[in-house]
Structure 1
């Protein structure tokens, strides 16, 4: 009921003051210090005070200063963009009308994106002792606030369904044999029968799963269940996930524990917890030097703080959440792009880095951006990023305001950190105007993105982290 009321309020005409305010958006440039666009070596922490939400957990970019991997080697921008294109190719293949290309595989490599910590499992000890650790104030469908389990750093992925973690006792922190609540699904269980294209047979009457990614890497193991804790709340006592015992390709040597699939498929965390957490989640992807957050369930923010647009779903590819992009504005001026080539239905993806636009829309955006940035020295292109600048010796930049206008006049102005990537315009062109657009995580920075899956809406709240 809470979700239904939230969505009704969100979709009421004029219910959000931000929509009206966006219509009167200032047309001036944003003055930004170049130092603020650089990734700092030290983590600056949370830019906004964390709310008291039981399923609220910090989130960081995997190669940012606040990441648990911040002291390790980082891939080059060229390598990240190469991997990003593989992921884009896979998403566009799966949403294509060409059924021959809709392979039953997940998305691409795991080297970039937002990461967060969850806890999996519970220690083996006497049931009477276990009962003492339950918070008596915890009530309702969220489970207890039992602080147990092994911390797992997982990639937050809205374009995949199957959650999985590494289950190598010798090399990973999670050992299913040490958890009192772990169980492998039998081969004739409903969970196993429902795996569809991810089913991989049976070993010793234990259900096996397999996920193959676009670059040929894969994960495989036993489909299992265990207690999952997010923040201060055990959100599921029977969380279904892949207990991975074999990774191939780009997973080798990674420090990630696995992937938290948040897609629209039945296997995802969101679908599994729909009855208890309303089929709702949100996140705020931070700047590389700061921390954001992930929340499972309805956020404790007034509905009027979000601008909202309908969520589009395709039953042929239920994994993806899409929104309809109507227009793009630069310094308050709407780009002159024919409606049929504006952008159309865009896939929301937490892991794609750079937003992809149809060529017609991208070329109009690029022309307006270059015109607004003509006072700065141009720099050579960097992979798919063809509009780059040399800001050496420049203390401040007059950065044009860019806003995305979604269906129902949901106007979302990008944060300055969501416009440039390594001094390049952080947008790229698709191969043709018919290919699906993708909203990448650079453009989502510092915006809380709310996915009300049950209510069919996507909300945006600027300056959230």
Structure 2
């Protein structure tokens, strides 16, 4: 990795240009219209679209197969596991050449990222003066926000829309190595910062699948809606961005860290956020700030000392057709994360085996199909054709909060008329459990950091 940073930091001083892509204006105009239309006294509530919804024309020229997405899902799990092991050490970017280089709330629209080559949801975020909007992946498992910036001194991948040019923004500033924000980068990015010859702070954000973004720590005006702006937002202006980011412009971090978008917006909107991840036939949103607690059932938001930025909770039981799985309570006592960036939920092996057995029994009249990637319980037939045969599954959390999963949350369609159980077993005896985004679809999920609780409400997407 040190060799990579030797090249990266030396090349950050080299100017280059990137041809701008302006082929996605239609979807952006739709997004702007929703912003204005949904503005209300209680905050801005904007739509979230599914891949097969109004913005499906954003499709990548080489779209991901679902198998590709599941492969990437596995690498994310491995990375999350490594962050929670006792042997984890923060990486340091040591390079001899590094010198070269409150009650209000706001909601923004999210969209599934398959059209832009990623398995996560994304939204358009405004940056700069005058403000321009960029398609950014939303990730509750990351603490740092960055986007691709011209002159792309090393490399910028192809993205939806134009690449941000800091020279065109009247409010853009590079931050020096003497700033407190630069000092905070190591916790937010899991890598120590470096300094350029002119004392500018250089960040390096790396991810478990070997993707990374390197560039200059910056601040600028953030625009979530025409009437909702935040001056001095701190983010990374990436000039070397390589890996599995699809055609997104960058990534928005919503984890528990003062440099995350949530941390920076908390003084204005409150230390909380909520979202609803939609299906192809519904509309959802991401809301930052206040929410109506009366509509939710809550479970404690837990913290793991190995990585206090992630969102943990305690799963205590699962029912299938109203019957509790026959596993000891101790089987659930493993670190469990709720994560918007993981597609398929992972369960402790004992729990998963019991769930799988109950599903197989319920679907005994249907023909089994071969395993699909990490999904080992598959059937010939779509979720719609299996219909009412798919049993009701409930995820029960500490203190009574629960998620009553529909057939679409339990099973998913893969290829050639085959559907599979949308769960998998954790890797290894010490593997973490994760509540993924497939199981969260259509639920309102609230992250109330101030009161250390996570809430669930059914029917959140319109």
TM-score range (shorter-chain normalised) is 0.7 to 0.9
- After superposition, residues 258-273 of structure 1 pair within 5 angstroms as 258-273=250-265
Instruction: Summarize deviations over 1:90-111 as a string: whole Å, max 9, x none.
Output: 1111122xx2235559xxx982
Higher RCO (CA < 8 A, seq sep 6+): 1
Which residue number in structure 1 is paired with residue 441 of structure 2? Answer: 445
* Structure 2 portions without partners, runs of 5+: 1-29, 93-115, 153-157, 414-418
The whole-number CA distance in structure 1 between the counterparts of 2:263 and 2:117 is: 22
String of CA shifts for 1:20-43, please: whole Å, max 9, x gaps: xxxxxxxxxxxxxxxxxxxxxxx9
**Quick one: which of 82, 88, 91 aligns to 1:101?**
88
Once residues 287 and 111 of structure 1 are traced to their aligned partners in structure 2, the CA distance between those partners, rounded to angstroms, is: 16
Contact between 1:65 and 1:288, CA under 8 Å: does it hold in 2? no
The 2-side partners of 1:331 and 1:110 are apart by 36
Q: Over the residues paired in the alignment, what is the CA RMSD in angstroms?
A: 2.6
- Equivalent in the alignment of 1:10: none
Whether the aligned pair in 1 keeps the contact of 2:340 and 2:437 (CA below 8 Å) is yes
Deviation (angstroms), 1:62: 6.1
**Distance change in 2, residues 1:62/1:265 (3 Å):** farther
**Counterpart check, 1:456 vs 2:452:** yes
3-state DSSP of counterpart to 2:285 = strand
Give the corresponding residue for 2:127: 120
SS of equivalent residue, structure 2 residue 75: helix
Distance (Å, rounded) in 1 between the aligned partners of 2:352 and 2:392: 16
8 Å Cα contact 2:258-2:264 kept in structure 1: yes
Unmatched tracts of structure 1, length 5 or more: 1-42, 124-148
Is the partner of 2:343 in helix, strand or coil? coil
- Could you tell me which of 64, 69, 91 is aligned with 1:75? 64
CA distance in 1, matches of 2:402, 2:191: 38
- State the shift of 1:342 in Å: 2.4
| Counterpart-to-counterpart distance in 2, 1:416 and 1:289 | 15
State the distance in 1 between where 2:340 and 2:213 align.
20
Residue of structure 1 aligned with 2:135, choices 153, 157, 165: 153
Q: CA deviation at 1:424?
A: 0.4
SS in 2 for 1:424: strand
The aligned residue for residue 201 of structure 1 is: 194
The alpha-carbon distance between structure 1 residues 89 and 61, as it changes in their structure 2 partners (threshold 3 A), is: farther
> How many Å separate the matches in 1 of 2:301 and 2:125?
27
**d(CA) in 1 for partners of 2:362, 2:139:** 34
Inter-CA distance 59–343: structure 2 relative to 1 (3 Å threshold): farther
Kindly indicate whether residue 283 of structure 2 is the aligned counterpart of residue 294 of structure 1: no
Which of 323, 328, 342 does residue 338 from structure 1 map onto? 328
Decide whether aligned partners of structure 1 residues 458 and 195 sit closer, same or farther in structure 2, where only a CA change above 3 A counts. Answer: same
Matches within 5 A, 1:309-324: 309-324=299-314
Relative to structure 1, the CA distance from residue 216 to residue 306 in structure 2 (aligned partners, 3 Å threshold; closer, same or farther) is: same
How many equivalent residue pairs? 386
1:280 counterpart = 2:280: no
My pick for the range that moved more, 450-459 or 369-378, is 369-378
**Structure 1 match to 2:10:** none
Question: Which residue does the alignment assign to 2:401?
Answer: 410
Change (3 A) 1:184 1:284: same
Deviations along 1:308-335, whole A, 9 cap, x unmatched?
Answer: 1000012431220011000001111111
1:132 aligns with none
Are positions 1:400 and 2:387 aligned together?
no
- Measure the CA separation in 1 of the matches of 2:389 and 2:163: 47
Q: 1:317 to 1:395 in 2, by over 3 A?
A: closer
Report the equivalent of 2:423. Answer: 427
Q: How many Å separate the matches in 1 of 2:333 and 2:49?
A: 29
What pairs with 1:208-223 in structure 2 (closer than 5 Å)? 208-223=202-217
- CA drift at 1:288: 3.9
- Work out whether 1:85 is the aligned partner of 2:74: yes
TM-score by structure 1 length?
A: 0.77
Name the residue aligned to 2:380: 390
Q: 1:264 to 1:181 in 2, by over 3 A?
A: same
